[in-house]
Amino acid sequence: MTATANDASTFEAPGLDWRRQIRFSAIGALSCAFIALAGMPVGLDRRSIVYPVLSLGYLSLFWVPFVLASLAGSQVVLEGMGERERDTRDLAAGALVGLGSALGLVGLMILVKNFNLRDPLVNWSPQLLELLSFNRSTTLGMLLWVVLGTTLGLLGGAMHVVPAMVRAKILTVVLSVLIVSVLQTFLTDLLEGFRLEVFTDFIYYKRGGLEILGALLVAVLAIAIPLLVAGRIKGLRARVQKMPPDERSRVNLVLLGVGAALLLVLPFFLGKIANELLANVGLFVLLALGLNIVVGLAGILDLGYVAFFAVGGYTTAVLTSPNSPGFSPELPWPVALIVVVVLTGLVGLFIGAPVIRMRGDYLAIVTLGFGEIIRLLFLSDWLSGWFGGAQGITNIPGVDVGIGTVKGTDPRSVFLLVLVFCGIAIYVSWRLEHSRLGRAWMAIREDEDVAEAMGVNTTSTKLMAFVVGAVLASFSGAIFSAKVGSIFPTSFIMLVSIIILVVVIVGGMGNIAGVIVGAVVLIGVLGGPKQPGLLQELGQFKLLIYGALLVWMMLKRPEGLVPNVRRSRELHQEEFLQDAWLKGEIDEEDPS
């Protein structure tokens, strides 16, 4: 980006860059062919978004021309540079990109029809061809793709031509239909709890997806509701803004309290599936909050974070299960939890001490090694007398809380328990961030040498981050153990560490709200390493999407969905400085 800034010596708006359009066409063609060969259209065809016109499978292709055409048309407008007038050429460019993308599919169809590469490429199948031809003849299918691709590209290009208001409305409608459709399981469950299933029965098709009428209704609501409410919300917000700081923070506190109360009541209106889903999300929120302290605040990239989850889970299992092979005190869960916390803290120290002085990237690999060693030890025959080896430990009792037992068969209770611990974790993260320790963590993240020269004992401070992170993970492990009722080494593979890392990064490193949003969106929709999300049809594509998302976030939005102000400053230092300068915030030299 800086390169463009340097090149822009003239202040005239540059014309439409056709080479960029052609590059994007090629990218579109490759992406479409690749998505088709990855098997997404066929694999995801079962799930409808809008029944019967649009399935998730087709959607996996349709977004390509639209999004790429709109991306190809967007340009960075630099300060002091005029924006190019948008005109029909943009439409043409969009159509070109769309057409290019479609041609990728057409080419693939020709190849699939005439050659057989099914041997290495498992999705090179007649079903793929059939699906791509919309169950009609191949030639007609190709024609249809050309038309569809061009139209979608045209629409994508049109996004730059229409006024911003219209664009926002279109996006709202599209996104709401998508979101409502994806949330089907959850919403059905929720509305059933309020005895309002009439509504969901009306908008949803039973086997997944919105009905056409339902989709229209959602679209209308998506336009109407903001029109009705927007003014009032704006007014309220303005009033709160005007309040003195004291009062404002009191209002915030009340809102927070109401939110928490709603969350606590929510599970009673939800069915099993939704509660189970939320319980899983909660477990990952806990894990992600812990990793956030280590990675987001202290800047230590710990890739073996799952080790603490495992230690928490296994310790709980050993202490509470009657089937624990070596040592079986059958403690009640709350008592076991105390031991778990202490023990995991110690393991945190034990793993942390040797790695804490290493360079960042060595540390990442070595923690990863520790994570694997711990899993291998739990798996080994050597220690199977204690941890059951591959057979794991079964028959772990639930948590007895007086009024009932929290166990996996009752996801509502699990969710409530998880909520309580999430509350604790949020409180801990928030308080620590604004304390002596939190400031020291940030200083270390900024510049470790200087932090040390300013009197911060980096070794013990970083260790503390490790230990606090470990303890939060052990909560999650202890609940996981009680929830699932049995525990195996396969639950603690490295994949878990990576997924937690993706959650933290997608949400926004160093930001509590961001991490929660990240966990809700990713674990809720895509699902965890073993836990299904709302789109359980994704199955094998889930991990692919996680990987792609991680790379994309790092390239385009390293500060995450909900950026921490501080963190994004660090990542966009130059732009931020420019902004500050333009706003006159940066101080000029003193007038002399």
Partner 1 sequence: MNMLQILDLSVTFGGLHALRNLDFHVEEGEIVSVIGPNGAGKTTFFNMISGMVTPTSGEILFEGESLLNLDPSQVTERGIARTFQNVRLFANMTILENVMVAQHCRTHQKVFGALLQTKAFKSEEIAIREYGEEVLSFFGSRLIGYRLNQPASVLSYANRRRLEIARAMATRPRLLLLDEPVAGMNPRESAELTALIGRLRSEWGFTIVIIEHDMSVVRDVSDRVVVLDHGETIAQGSYDSVANDPKVVEAYLGRQVQDKNADEETSS
Partner 2 sequence: MTTTHDAKLTSRVLWVDRFLTLIRITFIVVISVGLLAFVAQQINPQNPFAQWANPDATGLTAPQFKGLLVTGLAQGAMYGLIALGYSMVYGVLGFINFAHGEVFMVGAMSGMITSNKLADAGLWEDAFLLCLLFIVVTSILLSTATAVIMERVAYRPLRGAPRLIPLITSIGVSFFLQNLSVVLLGPGAKSYPTLPSWLSQKRSLVGFQIEGTKLLVLLTAAVSMAGLWFLVERTRTGKAMRAVAEDKEIAALMGIDVNRTIVKTFAVGGAMAGVAGILWGILFRSVIHTTGFLPGIKAFSAAVVGGIGNLGGAMAGGLSLGAAEATAPLVLLEPLGVDGVSQLRDAVAFAVLIFVLLVRPSGLFGERLSEDERA
State which residue, 97 or 472, has the beta carbon closest to partner 1.
472
Structure tokens at 100: 């290019």
Structure tokens at 235: 């007014």
Q: Residue 198 binds which one of partner 1, partner 2, none, with CB within 5 to 8 A depending on kind? A: none
Check binding of 163 to partner 2 (CB under 8 A): no
By CB under 8 A, name the one of 134, 382, 427, 581 that touches partner 2.
382
Tell me the site size for partner 2, rule CB under 8 A.
Answer: 57
State which residue, 428 or 495, has the beta carbon closest to partner 1.
428
Cα-Cα-Cα-Cα dihedral sign, residues 194, 195, 199, 200: positive
State which residue, 108 or 467, has the beta carbon closest to partner 1.
467
Alpha helices (runs of H) in 356-447, residue ranges in sequence order: 360-379, 384-387, 411-433, 436-446
Residue 442 C-beta: closest distance to partner 1, Å: 6
Pair 432, 293: CB distance under 8 Å? yes
Q: Residue 541 binds which one of partner 1, partner 2, none, with CB within 5 to 8 A depending on kind? A: partner 2
Check binding of 379 to partner 2 (CB under 8 A): yes
Cα-Cα-Cα-Cα dihedral sign, residues 458, 463, 464, 469: positive
3-state class percentages of the chain: helix first, strand second, coil last, to nearest 5: 70, 5, 25
By CB under 8 A, name the one of 353, 450, 565, 580 that touches partner 2.
353
CA distance 181 to 357: 49
Pair 129, 139: CB distance under 8 Å? no
Backbone angles phi, psi at 48, to 5 degrees: -85, 150
State which residue, 41 or 345, has the beta carbon closest to partner 1.
345
Check binding of 454 to partner 2 (CB under 8 A): no
Q: Residue 169 binds which one of partner 2, partner 1, none, with CB within 5 to 8 A depending on kind? A: none
Check binding of 323 to partner 2 (CB under 8 A): no
Check binding of 380 to partner 2 (CB under 8 A): yes
Residue whose structure tokens are 């990675």: 295
Check binding of 416 to partner 2 (CB under 8 A): no
Structure tokens at 370: 């520790």
Residue among 176, 171, 154 at smallest CA distance from 68 = 154
DSSP-derived 3-state class of residue 482 = helix
Single out the segment in contact with partner 2 by CB under 8 A; choices: 13-21, 169-177, 405-413, 545-553: 545-553
Secondary structure letter of residue 532 according to DSSP: B
Q: Residue 456 binds which one of partner 1, partner 2, none, with CB within 5 to 8 A depending on kind? A: partner 1
Query: Among residue numbers 3 through 42, which ones bind partner 2 (CB under 8 A)?
Result: 37-40
Check binding of 377 to partner 2 (CB under 8 A): yes
* Number of Cα atoms under 13 Å in the Cβ half of residue 460: 4
Helix (H) or strand (E) holding 106: helix 88-114
DSSP-derived 3-state class of residue 279 = helix
Tell me how crowded residue 204 is: count the other CB atoms within 10 A of its CB: 22
Pair 69, 93: CB distance under 8 Å? yes
Q: What binding mask, one character per residue, do residues 39-78 give for partner 2 by CB under 8 A, x or -?
A: xx--------------------------------------
Structure tokens at 52: 């019967």
Q: Residue 431 binds which one of partner 1, partner 2, none, with CB within 5 to 8 A depending on kind? A: partner 1
Q: Which residues bind partner 1 (CB under 8 A)?
A: 427-428, 431-432, 434-440, 442-443, 446-447, 449-459, 464, 468, 566-567, 569-570, 573, 576-577, 580, 585-590, 592
State which residue, 212 or 366, has the beta carbon closest to partner 2.
366
DSSP-derived 3-state class of residue 321 = coil
Single out the segment in contact with partner 2 by CB under 8 A; choices: 159-167, 225-233, 237-245, 550-558: 550-558
CA distance 481 to 583: 53
Check binding of 561 to partner 2 (CB under 8 A): no
Check binding of 366 to partner 2 (CB under 8 A): yes
Structure tokens at 72: 């190809």
Contacts with partner 2, residue ranges (CB under 8 A): 37-40, 119-123, 299, 301, 303, 353-354, 356, 358, 360-362, 364-366, 368-370, 372-373, 376-377, 379-382, 457, 459-460, 463, 494, 498, 501-502, 505, 540-541, 543-544, 546-551, 554-555, 558, 570-571
